[in-house]
Amino acid sequence: MTTDGNLTGSDSPEEMVRFEIRNQVAWITIHNPEKGNAISPAMRDRMASLLNGLNGRFEARSVVITATGRKLFCPGADISVGREAAPRPDGAPESAVGEARRMMLDGQLKLMPAILDCELPVIAAVNGTAAGVGAHLALCCDLVVMADHAKFIEVFARRGLVPDGLGAWILPRLVGLQKARELMFFAEDIPAAEALRIGLCNKVVPGDDLEDAATDWAERLAAGPTRSLMLTKWLVNRSLDVDRRTLEDNEAWAVELNSRTLDSQEGIASFRERRDPVWRGF
């Protein structure tokens, strides 16, 4: 920080959350080495904005979220960054009922839905320890690739805290209620091999191969039928939250919408003509 409180280039949100598009893959990279890749409010807001900004556009057709370094993916929120309190009348307490709730709604509960609701498939490339909100950031992604030395930690119970960042929503859907309680109650390290075994990740690779593995999957997705993948993600994300009749309606509408895409027409034509399809993304 400069003495007048303005962010310098090295600690600006744009530098600490790097963004680039390569081969129609949007790469969002956490880079906050001084804080071990912890996420500040400004970083969190930038990530949510980047993800939301990819919707309805054509520059990218898949997303990778990763971090720099080999030790830490993200240890959670950067609690050293102070939050400006709302103006209050004389005699008001330092923390009024409702303020912590509002902080959550305006904070982590904007970032995780931005991942879940992103129209593009999102891959987490977990390069190191992902703890607390950092773990939930990865687990809310559609696919998770981990370096073999990486690990997850549901760290909240170690600090006497309640899980946030949609952890109580995503974790039971991945591992079931009983296992989710175990992981959250005991807050023990979950090495990559164990994460793979219980369904917290899709693939474990040597650390030196992580970027290549994430690139391979992301570019395969980016070369796929983008609108079909979008609607598939939409259906799957709702499948555990609605009754069968509602899902029938959702499925019927998804098929209706997808049938109007050029890629759907190309898929049928390529099948009939016995050739590989050429997906255009719309």
Using CA of residue 14, residue 79, residue 194, residue 206, what is the dihedral sign? positive
How far is residue 82's CA from residue 41's CA, in Å, rounded to a whole number? 9
Q: Does the reported pTM lie above 0.85?
A: yes
Strands 25-30 and 72-74: unpaired
Q: Residue 82: its pLDDT value, please?
A: 61
If you classify domain 9-222 with CATH, what class do you get?
A: alpha beta
Name the band, by pLDDT with cuts 50, 70 and 90, for residue 84: low
Q: Residue 97: its pLDDT value, please?
A: 73
Sheet of 62-67, strands arranged across? 17-22, 25-30, 62-67, 122-126, 143-147, 203-205
For 164, phi and psi rounded to 5 degrees? -130, -170
Give the other-Cβ count within 10 Å of 120's Cβ. Answer: 24
Find the mean pLDDT for residues 73-84: 80
Q: Residue 91: its pLDDT value, please?
A: 72
Cβ–Cβ under 8 Å, residues 128 and 38: no
Q: Residue 243: its pLDDT value, please?
A: 95
Give the other-Cβ count within 10 Å of 269's Cβ. Answer: 12
Residue ranges per structural domain of the chain: 9-222, 226-272
Per-residue pLDDT reduced to its tens digit, 32-75:
999 999 999 999 999 999 999 999 999 999 999 999 999 999 99
Q: Which amino acid appears at position 42 of this protein?
A: A
Name the band, by pLDDT with cuts 50, 70 and 90, for residue 3: very low
Find the mean pLDDT for residues 162-186: 95
Per-residue pLDDT reduced to its tens digit, 205-259:
999 999 999 999 999 999 999 999 999 999 999 999 999 999 999 999 999 999 9
